[in-house]
Structure 1
């Protein structure tokens, strides 16, 4: 797991707060025909700058990640969060067992120790979010836009999560 630097701990905490409880995300990879998005179940691990998914090697997303590690992960629910990052294929048996649950057995029609099962680890570089979770905050923002007030309510921001440039 990443240990956040002081400079990005606040940004990581903000993204963690916004995506908490949203267990499905849209993972976008790059195919030879362009971007492809599909719903994926996020692993139940606290966001620390990395997002984890389970998949199989015999999928197009696996091949697409091997060809281009740049990905995007989008959460939509109480807020909207778009995370840009790089994907890594992880074949760690202990990590697969840690994340495995009986639902996957049915969904993927296999077990965690199947060599075809892999993890996708997305290392987040930046996130853009729209914090719509608070009706009061949204109403204040709307009033400020209508009245021309210059105070910002931070409903939409982009935060850097990693010092590396993707």
Structure 2
């Protein structure tokens, strides 16, 4: 596996956007100072032009309560089928913005909020990345598997997998 850190801001934003929106679901962890962490699968609504990741949530959730106490969060994105992974340590902000709630509203989200998009308990989590680490393949996963297999049989082909830190 080759080490390919991303230090350029625009490339870092592009990589976070590619992975977070491409994978879409993550384990969203709060209460990091108190193991075991509170962890919930959540769906990304958007990764904006500053690499901030947006989620819809409830003010009645443990996540909301935990973020009010400690804004540090950890997100884990995993897509084994395409061999793409992202670990992201971040600061969470609680945002009330009805226009943004309306923008993200869809039938899937409606299932979580019986009172509809005007439910006063809907809150936005704005996740501002502080540190990130990724793993992925340079090519399709089948190419990566083939190269790994051939290398195990004695070939000396270039590594198709990469990982690195992402500096925001």
Does TM, normalized by the shorter one, top 0.5?
Answer: yes
Written as runs of structure 1 = structure 2, the 5 A alignment for 1:13-162 is: 13-30=14-31, 33-34=34-35, 35-45=37-47, 48-77=50-79, 78=82, 79-132=84-137, 134-137=141-144, 140=147, 155-161=162-168
Per-residue displacement from partner, 1:34-81 (whole Å, max 9, x unpaired)? Answer: 311110111045564111111111111101001111101111112011
Alpha-carbon deviation of 1:111? 1.5
Could you tell me which runs of 5 or more consecutive residues in structure 2 were left unpaired when the two chains were aligned.
1-6
Distance of 1:14 and 1:137 partners within structure 2: 19
Shift of 1:143: 6.7
3-state DSSP of counterpart to 1:155: strand
Relative contact order (alpha carbons < 8 A, sep ≥ 6): 1 or 2 greater?
2
1:129 Cα deviation after fit: 0.9
Number of equivalenced pairs: 156
TM-score, normalised via structure 1 length = 0.78
What displacement does 1:114 show? 1.5
1:124-143 Cα offsets, whole Å, 9 max, x none, are 11211110454434655787
Runs of 4+ in 1 over 3 A off after TM superposition: 44-48, 132-135, 137-147, 151-154
Q: Is the 8 A contact 1:87 1:120 kept in 2?
A: yes
TM-score normalised to structure 2 length: 0.77
